[in-house]
Amino acid sequence: MNLFVANFCDDITDEDLERLFGRYGKVKNARIWIDFETGESKGFGLVELEDDWDAERAIEKLDGKRWHGMKLTVCKARTQR
C-alpha cells in the first residue's frame, strides 16, 4: 500500500522515511518530492509498505504524531486517474 506522508522538515531524507516506516513493516520504497528549481524537499512524499495491515498500523501510529518537531500527516495515497 502507498502512503502519502507530509509536513516534515526540509532536511529529512528518503532513508529517514524508510527507517521511520520500517518500524511498522517492510518498506518497498520511500521517496520525498524534490523541487527541481531549488533542489529542496517539498515537505511531502510517498512510502510504500509491502503489507496493507502494516500500512494501516503505520497510519494509526504516525498520523498526527510529532517527528523532528513537525506534526506528520500520514494517510493512504490516492491514485491518479
Which tens digit of pLDDT belongs to each residue from 31-75?
999 999 999 999 999 999 999 999 999 999 999 999 999 999 999
Looking at the structure of the chain, the number of domains it has is 1
State yes or no: pLDDT of 81 exceeds 60: no
The residues, any chain, with a CB within 8 Å of residue 46's CB and separated by 6 or more, are 2, 3, 4, 5, 29, 30, 31, 77
Whether 31 is covered by a domain: the verdict is yes
Which tens digit of pLDDT belongs to each residue from 7-38?
998 899 999 999 999 999 999 999 999 999 99
Residue 15: give the domain boundaries. Answer: 2-76
Whether 29 is covered by a domain: the verdict is yes
Whether 17 is covered by a domain: the verdict is yes
CA dihedral 42, 47, 53, 54 (to 10 degrees): -100
pTM of the model: 0.91
